[in-house]
Amino acid sequence: MFSHLTGSDIELLNIWTPKFYFTIKGSLKDPDMMKLDINKGVKSSVKISCRDEYKAEVYSQELGEAVQLSGEIDPLFFEQQNYEILIQKRSECDIEFYHENINIRNKVSPVGNAKRGYEARLLTGVVNFTNDIGLSDLIIKVDGKEYLRVEIEVYPSKIDYRDDYKAILKDINDELYNLIFDFYKKTYLLTGLRDTVGNSLTEFFAIINLIFDRLDRAIGIVLKMPHHVLAKERVVQNNYKVKRVDNECIKWINRHQQYVKASGDVITVEKALSLKNTVTFDTFENRLIKYMIKSVINRLRMLKKRYTGKSDDGTTTVDRDIIDKIDMMITKLDKHISTTFLKDVEDIHTMNSLSLVLNMAAGYRDVYKYYIMLLKGLMMREGFIKISPKNMALLYEYWCFIKLNSILRHKYDLVRQDIIKFENSGLSVKIKMGEKSKVEYQNPRNGERYFLAYNNRYGGTATVAQKPDNVLSLEKKGSNVKYNYIFDAKYRICYDNDYLKKYFTPGPEEDDINTMHRYRDAIVYENNDNHNFERMFFGAFVLFPYSKEDEYKNNQFYKSIEKVGVGGLPFLPNATHLVEDLLNEVITDSPETAFESTVLQHGMYEYLEKIEFNNKEVLVGNLSSYKQLEVNLKYKFYHIPYSEIRSSIKYIKYVAIAQTKAKGFGDDAGIRYYGKVKNFEILKRSEIKEIPKDSDELYVRFTVDKWEKLDKKIDLAGYRVRRRFYTNLFLLKNAKIVSDLLLKTKDDYRLYLELKRLDKIKVELNKDDVDDDTAIKGIVFKNLYIWLVGDSYRVYKNSILLDNINVDDFRKRPNVAIKRIKKYI
């Protein structure tokens, strides 16, 4: 006996055959799924093949009853849903249910006989397609032979089958090909034209099956926009067409006197040799394109000949579809050569280098890319193309990693990756569940390095090892800390009524958010300097399938990212903006912002140890001459009138020397030398014997422990240091121009640092002479002017006030204030 599942009493599909009665029962599509606004207007089909005549009915959601199966129907079957299959025998025979997935196959089994007017035997079971979507074959065998095949289509319940699913597959393949091409560019140099085939014909056919349409489109682009050059050609023309007479022309006339006519004193040349410019497509690049096309045609013909040849036993088994496909490819490629300008292009003979046209020009780059893929061979072992595209959870996880890489690769330079690699058997794609992959990028603007790792295992946690999906690790200038962020792919979305009442929009599961908290808190490392365990991660985010980005901004788990560094982000092919914005934000954030965006992270000791800005411990003084610099450096001292530093002398711990152009330093102008004060003494100027001067004015002589050179001199940038001013050691070691040294508060420096990470900036002073009375007027950033006025930062553009940011607000939430400034760029 069997019992119906609760809520699954609708007969979705019924099939009557002479041998048995077949039915599938289950629930209709979850009505709450409509809140995701997906799969609208999508139609499905059920295809049936049977050895006998049969009758089939499907449930019509529109009519609310069973109707005869014909044509397209509304989707009936979805992932992660339970369906009950029943098969009742109507004749004396052995019945067996079969499915390629053993977990589905074993669920349907005999349960015994029941007497309903005739002796019958029942097979039943509950199946769930889990996250496998797409076509699925249900096969019933009679007496050991296939009798009935039912092809159904299983639809996703979290993404749009028509748009998102196809876009995910396209993204994966496109990015994979781009990585392969980048790999080939760095590891493979085509130096000759011998066809060094590194793959078998089977591999060749597998690859060309995948890329032929792309190759054909790329060739089409070449034919529409071909590379051409101007060729100079000598032709014989009538005299009125000859525009220029040169030595070659005169020589030709001397050899062809028949065209020279004399009439009295007038000599006329009827025809002459002229130089004519003509457009020609017979270039190296077009010759190479022709060679590539012909090479592929030859391989296809060889493949066809091999495939249609006789086997060892003398028989021939040929799949007509394969032959037709090969013929189609040959015809299309041959047409590109025989009916276009390529027919007049010479065959290529030598090739010593690759031109920019092949690497840059539209069409040419792609033709070359696909050709070398065919030439070298490609083995996809459990990579993207060979994985089952039916498992949406796994496919989504792979896509998230690939798409994150795609976003980074379009903005930063790819340094190295271990996704694509050579093995003995060819080129392989190394990315699969449980196996670590890592890609490294470099920011071309500031040299910072970024690392995206997949399936990296963190074992030194003092408790349980953790393995998040995707981890972005950032190196930032000015910090020895690695800033790590988790982007964990979860093919799950919650949209029930209780969830919507609480969070307003569909979003990530609460359990997945809790997992992000666990990752961030559980993954720690032991600091070798202080033996404290410190967190390694500054943020953890769930990536989930949802397309309405603007609507999702109202969800609590989006707002929580700014507050606590944990939350969720929608991520689909047509919804990547929020993820791109977050990536850009965490990459451009200064170390200070990254630190303050989280709590008690690895690096807090480095952050807290920075010197206080109100501690003016460095005296920056000028020089009277180049000779003074030599003497000061030689005898390790610096002297300055006592009257200029009387009130601050006890606070001075370091002395720095400003070398100005006005004193003859020329290109050496700037601040280069500084030293720690060993001691000081107050004495008459005449007592400083190293640089004699007859004066009773009181001076301070600072004895320096040793003079040190800054890593890079501080540029005066047109300003003049007439006397002296004060700064701190932190600014002295980090400033690039002298105006940077006058930043008075940590808040001003923080603003300066954040804007500096985004682009070039300039600190403007209220006068050209730098001394202790010189004040900072503001910061010029792109087309914005941020003036430091009292207790606020005023943002101007074209003299129009755009924003007024209170310093106290900036101090409490600096990252929020920076975002306000960024939006005006």
If you search the block for the tokens 């091999």, which residue do you land on? 306
H, E, C per residue of 736-782: CEHHHHHCCCHHHHHHHHHHHHHCCEEEEECCCEECCCCCEEEEEEC
For residues 105 and 321, the model is more confident at: 105
For the chain, which residues make up each domain, given as ranges? Answer: 10-157, 199-227+282-376, 229-280, 392-603, 610-736, 743-825
Average of per-residue pLDDT across 512-530: 73
Cα dist from 667 to 16, 619, 626, 718, whole Å: 95, 23, 13, 12
Q: Are 150 and 22 in contact (CB under 8 A)?
A: yes
Instruction: Report the C-alpha gap between 621 and 119 in whole angstroms.
Output: 109
Sheet holding 537-544, edge to edge: 413-417, 437-442, 449-454, 470-475, 482-489, 537-544, 566-570
Residue-by-residue DSSP string for 512-536: HHHHHHHHHHH-EEE-TTT--EEE-
- The torsion angles phi and psi of 688, rounded to 5 degrees, stand at -90, 95
If you search the block for the tokens 């006339």, which residue do you land on? 253
> E-assigned strands of 455-605?
470-475, 482-489, 524-526, 533-535, 537-544, 566-570
Angle at 151 between CA 147 and CA 154, to 5 degrees: 145
Q: Is the pLDDT of residue 384 over 50?
A: no
Q: Which residues contact 535 (CB under 8 A, 6 or more apart)?
A: 520, 521, 523, 524, 598, 600, 601, 602
Q: At residue 322, what is the residue type?
A: I
561-613 tens-digit pLDDT:
988 889 999 999 999 999 999 999 888 877 766 665 654 445 544 554 555 76
Average of per-residue pLDDT across 799-808: 87
Type and span of the H or E element at 390: none
For residues 585 and 536, the model is more confident at: 585
Q: Are 448 and 474 in contact (CB under 8 A)?
A: yes
Q: Is the pLDDT of residue 63 over 90?
A: no
Structure tokens at 48: 């049936």
Q: Are 123 and 110 in contact (CB under 8 A)?
A: yes
Instruction: Report the C-alpha gap between 120 and 137 in whole angstroms.
Output: 25
Structure tokens at 713: 């001199």
In the chain, what percentage of residues exceed pLDDT 70? 82
Handedness of CA 340, 344, 350, 353 (dihedral sign): negative
3-state class of 298 per DSSP? helix
Domain 610-736 grouped into CATH 3.10.590: yes
Can you give the pLDDT at residue 640?
Answer: 92
Type and span of the H or E element at 280: strand 271-280
Q: Are 679 and 719 in contact (CB under 8 A)?
A: no
- Which of 113-127, 534-548, 655-669 has the weakest average pLDDT? 113-127
Instruction: Note the pTM of the prediction, 2 decimals.
Output: 0.59
- In total, the chain counts a number of residues equal to 825
